Structure 1
Amino acid sequence: MSSLSLPTIRRRRNYVQKFIENIDSFNKATDEVLEEKKTTGGIISGISFIIIVILIFMQLNAYIFGEDDYNYKFSIDTNFSDHPYLELDMVVATSCSNLIAHFYGSLSEQFTVGPTLKKDPTRFDFTEKELYYWEELKKVHRQIRSDSGTHFNRLEKMAFVSQAVEEGLKSEADGKLLDQKRKNKKKKAIHHFEENAAIFFVSNGINVLHIVASGSQNMDSKACRIHGRVQVNKIKGDNIVVSLGSEIGIENLLAQFSGIPFEGNTSHRIERLNFGPRIFGAITPLAGTEQISLSGKEEYHYFLNIVPTKIYHNGIFGGHTLVYQYSVTFTKKVPKNTPDSHTHAGITIHYDFAPTVIEVRRVRMSILQLVFRICSAVGGIFATSSLLNGLIVYICDTYRKFIVSGADLLKTTKRRENLIFSM
């Protein structure tokens, strides 16, 4: 039998693999190639390592101890059924029997009947402790006005005072009230059942609510403290007027309209005036306001622009807190000493609720953002250091080659000169 030749296997070249290998732009190195260590590379690596450590520390410090950012958004206020509280605590340098107050506006329907505020006899001068607390409150108040004037503050720039200051002022005011009551009892100026005056709001049908105080006629004191809370409606154009006069008696009413002056002084201090839920320690623009009237007959006007603010909370439960911040514009009118002037000394607080609401959301860096920032910083430093190292090595090598070529050229020239002289 004839032997058959073995078939040969034909190998086909993998053109696709060859094409991909040809476009590979990365340099290849075998295991036998050793990388040369250089001094410049070590210095740059050390500096890069120090910078990386500093940047990581700064990022962690900003994440843990840094201040949060806030996102502010304006929208239309559609919560018309809300009835915020108006909390007032002020002292006027006039006896309660010679002080009348009007509430020009509308109260919430649930609070139009019954005592809502109080008029209590007190002293206008400070006790030693009260003066200390008042100076602390005025210090923060001056700082607010010097930083932002009467404008709204950002949430992270709100000023706070120790809760001990607020509680101390209230405690000292209550102490002066008790002391004044004892003095009045000794003088038999009031009866035991007329220890303070509860203020009632009585409507006259034209959206004017008169504050009528029971037991205020026999209050013998140098000053009057008006304090308490009342729930109001969010409408525009309301105001509170505190003026010199008397609530009861036709002769007092005629004197009020004829411009006959009453005894008293419009010097006053405002320890607290805020709307909505109370935030302990937060300083409102009018907290710490003090006005001293030299003539006792000045007219003071405070114009408040109130903006509802929703502060949204992060976390599992979320939700928001509704507060009311306000800005203040202040004017003072000095009466003219002319026969035809019919000015009435008093204190007027005008307040308007804005139709907009501010939504505040806290913006905090997440863990994923922190990791991305650290990785990008580290990668950027490594990339920059590699480019810098390559540039320095290239410059050094070029300079070294230039020096070496210059030295070789000098040697060659000297050899030629020696050969010429030897011949």
Structure 2
Amino acid sequence: MRRLSRRKVLSLVRELDAFPKVSDSYVETSASGGTVSLIAFGAMALLAVLEFFVYRDTWMKYEYEVDKDFSSKLRINIDITVAMKCQHVGADILDLTETMITSSGLLYEPVIFELTPQQRLWQRTLLLIQNRLREEHALQEVLYKTPVKGGPTALPPREGVSLDPLNACRIHGHVYVNKVAGNLHITVGKPIHHPQGHAHIAAFVSHETYNFSHRIDHLSFGEEIPGVINPLDGTEKITFNNNQMFQYFITVVPTRLNTYKISADTHQFSVTERERVINHAAGSHGVSGIFVKYDTSSLMVTVSEQHMPLWQFLVRLCGIIGGIFSTTGMLHGLVGFCFDVICFRLKLGIYRPREVSLEPTVYGLYIQNPSFLFLNKQAVSIKSEGIVSFSM
């Protein structure tokens, strides 16, 4: 009984076979079919390899939501070099809540404003990358996925010992501010705080020493991510006017970055620049210096690195193989049909009857192949047109 049940099961499974086997004696091969098969196999191999590279690659997914974090502090990372001595300039931050952030977290380092050839090459490379980032926005995703080890975008240290005077001041470090709009001032004199606001003591600084030519080696918000280039990194402004105001209007967007190599809470920002000469006689009022006005956005962006699932890769691969088989089969059949139609019409032209002058003959049977017959001892000529003539 068990053997009978097994045989029934096997016979049932055989009847459900959706892939019938064709005997080799019924299969007709041709040179054209072999050529199409080679082309199809080559196309399948090429597309399968390309699809594998697509499967290995990843892409960035952007999601937007309302930023509900109001109580946390915003970190500002600063590395700016001003072409004035450190005792003549001061930096501070004042936000909308009239809270003055002292520059206790910032360091003032006397340096040489002119760059060495190595540093100049670094800065030019950085500016070239900045231009490419403005043209090709997808390069930022590459930086997200492949963070570079080391410092953010700081200049390399000056090689050797220079005898040039220290005519500039490097202001670098980080400070924590409230997540509201604020203004970073770098102007003449050291900042002081009083109940009515804040001020800078500039009484002992000569007006001829004013020079707000500056270079922004690094300016970012939030956690520093090595290798990520911010919009103002590498910016250099040179002025020959003592009363020059430089303004940068920045919109900061909180960003949560999740990749396979790094996970951090940082901030992106966009910037608009403006500069003008202070001339009270011409109606251009203000204070000479560098002013970075920033404001935070109410939206938060989550950037996640995505990867194609394995099942989706297999489905796409099966679609490629099956689609090429079906397409090449239809094209081969269509080309063969057209070829047969053309050849059939040409054959019809061969068998079209021609006009011939006949002597008195007796017409008889229609025979397709030309040959010679002998009937009643008389020669019978069978022509290619299928006309039988009997010689009398």
Per the TM superposition, whether the score is higher than 0.5 is: yes
- Note the 1:5-404 alignment, pairs <5 A: 34-64=26-56, 66=57, 68-105=58-95, 115-145=104-134, 147=136, 155-156=141-142, 169=155, 171-172=157-158, 222-235=167-180, 237-247=181-191, 261=207, 263-313=209-259, 320-336=263-279, 338=281, 343-404=286-347
Tell whether the 8 Å contact from 1:89 to 1:228 is kept in structure 2 after alignment. Answer: yes
Task: Calculate the aligned-residue CA RMSD, in Å.
Answer: 4.2
Amino acid at match of 2:83: A
Q: Which has the higher contact order (CA 8 A, sep 6+)?
A: 1
Post-superposition offset of 1:240: 0.8
Unaligned ranges ≥5, structure 2 = 1-17, 193-198, 354-366, 369-381
Against the structure 1 CA distance between its residues 360 and 246, is the aligned structure 2 distance closer, same or farther, given a 3 Å change threshold? closer
Q: How many residues get paired? A: 342
Letter in 1 for 2:320: A
Shift of 1:90: 0.7
Match of 2:11 in 1: none
Q: Which amino acid aligns with 1:171?
A: P
The verdict on how the C-alpha distance between 1:46 and 1:133 changes in structure 2, with shifts beyond 3 A counting, is closer
User: Aligned partners of 1:29 and 1:97: how far apart in 2?
Assistant: 92
In structure 2, the CA distance between the partners of 1:355 and 1:168, relative to structure 1 (3 Å rule), is: closer
Superposed CA deviations along residues 138-164 of structure 1, whole A, max 9, x for unmatched, are 33234334556xxx9853477999767
Letter in structure 1 aligned against 2:34: G
How far off its partner does 1:245 sit? 3.2
**1-side partners of 2:48 and 2:130: how far apart?**
40
- Distance, in Å, in 2 between the alignment partners of 1:416 and 1:273 is 96
Which structure shows the bigger proportion of residues in strand conformation?
2
Query: Following the alignment from structure 1 to structure 2, what is the Cα–Cα distance between the partners of residues 92 and 308?
Result: 29
Give the equivalent residue in structure 1 for 2:356: none
Amino acid at match of 2:77: E
Distance across 2 between alignment mates of 1:167 and 1:324:
16
SS at match of 2:104: coil
The one-character-per-residue Cα deviations of 1:172-207 (angstroms, maximum 9, x if unpaired) are 39988xx89xx8xxxxxxxxxxxxxxxxxxxxxxxx
Q: Is the 8 A contact 1:93 1:222 kept in 2?
A: yes
Q: 1:175 to 1:311 in 2, by over 3 A?
A: farther
TM-fit CA distance, 1:301: 0.2
Structure 1 residues 50, 342: closer, same or farther in 2, change over 3 A? Answer: closer
Kept in 2, the 8 Å contact 1:106–1:232? The answer is no
Secondary structure at the residue paired with 1:171? coil
Q: CA deviation at 1:114?
A: 8.9
CA deviation string 1:312-331 (max 9, x = no partner): 3469xxx9521101111000
For 1:256 and 1:342, locate their aligned partners in 2 and report how far apart those are by CA, in whole Å: 17
8 A Cα contact 1:48 1:385, kept in partner: yes
Specify the SS of the correspondent of 1:57: helix
Mapped to 2, the partners of 1:142 and 1:161 lie a distance apart of 19
CA–CA distance in 2 between the matches of 1:171 and 1:314?
32
Judged with a 3 Å threshold, the aligned counterparts in structure 2 of structure 1 residues 393 and 140 are, in CA distance, closer, same or farther, namely closer
Identity %: 26
Q: Displacement, 1:137? A: 2.7
TM-score scaled by structure 1? 0.68
Change (3 A) 1:362 1:39: same
Q: Distance in 2 between matches of 1:307 and 1:172?
A: 34
Instruction: Identify if the C-alpha distance between structure 1 residues 79 and 261 changes in structure 2 by more than 3 Å, giving closer, same or farther.
Output: same
Residues 153, 233 of structure 2: 8 Å contact kept = no
- C-alpha distance in 2 between matches for 1:32 and 1:297: 94
Maintained 8 Å contact 1:267/1:296: no
Give, in angstroms, the shift of residue 418 of structure 1: 5.7
- TM-aligned CA distance change 1:362 to 1:341, over 3 Å: closer
Deviates more, 1:160-169 or 1:132-141: 160-169
Q: 1:226-256: CA deviations, max 9, x gaps?
A: 1111111211x201111123557xxxx7986
Q: Deviations over 1:318-350 (max 9, x none)?
A: x95211011110000112373886542111000
C-alpha distance 57-101 of structure 1, shift in aligned 2 (>3 A) = closer
Higher helix share: 1
